[in-house]
Amino acid sequence: MVSIALDSGGADAAGPWIDRAKTTHPALIDESHVLDELLGVVNVPTGIWVDERGVIVRPPEPAFPWRPRAPSEELLAALPAITAEQLREAQKIRIDPDRYTAALRDWVAHGARSRYALSPDEVLARSRPRDMDHSRAAACFELAQHLQRAGNGEDAVSWFRQAHALAPENWTYKRQAWSLADPLQGPTNAYDSDWLEEVRRIGAENYYPPLEL
């Protein structure tokens, strides 16, 4: 098991979450979002199964290990209003942790004999194609990150916006940009929408694609 945080803020942004989780497995941080560019990750948490030969046997898919506990009204009342509304909306998101973890354990136990391990042809069929718009989106996102790291955050915004327009289904692009403008991913003048508005627009039940096991 290896976990990889996708965050251009690096250890300052992702490190406290890793420390709080007290992980016993390797926990890496991908500041440049190389993983999503190479493998087509568009949201988190996402799981990718790789066998002992280094062959992908399941491409990126929603990977919840458990169902998050519903926040209490007492907790919600103590949070910023935008965070409380985000948590309420997140409770409506469709996830399937029981089926996913059962499939994962089956693969760990049976390897290539597991019915959940896909053939190379099946992996390719499920993988996202990279057309010109998605290639341009990746380039825009990479340029935006470069400008952000160089201290030119205002110049980065227009490139983040172009990445969002070219790949609207890519939540990693959106969430990274929103969090740089506002750590709570709330409304700002930099972008036309925010996490809560976007989730309500598409419907929380559509935030992740259905798990195809």
Q: Estimate the share of the chain in helix, then strand, then coil, as percent rounded to the nearest 5.
A: 55, 10, 40
Question: Where do we find the tokens 């718009």?
Answer: 133
How far is the C-alpha of 96 from the C-alpha of 103, rounded, in Å? 11
User: How far lies 130's CA from each of 106, 118, 176, 186, in Å?
Assistant: 31, 21, 21, 30
Largest CA distance in the chain: 52
49 token code pair: 């199964």
Characterize the bridge pairing of strands 56-62 and 27-30: unpaired
Question: What share of the chain in percent tops pLDDT 70?
Answer: 100
Confidence of residue 14 (pLDDT cuts 50, 70, 90): very high
pLDDT tens across 169-183, in order? 999 999 999 999 999
Position 130 scores a pLDDT of 84
Instruction: Work out the number of other CB atoms within 10 angstroms of the CB of residue 132.
Output: 8
- Tens of pLDDT, residues 176-209: 999 999 999 999 999 999 999 999 999 999 999 9
Q: CA 35, CA 167: separation in Å to the nearest integer?
A: 16
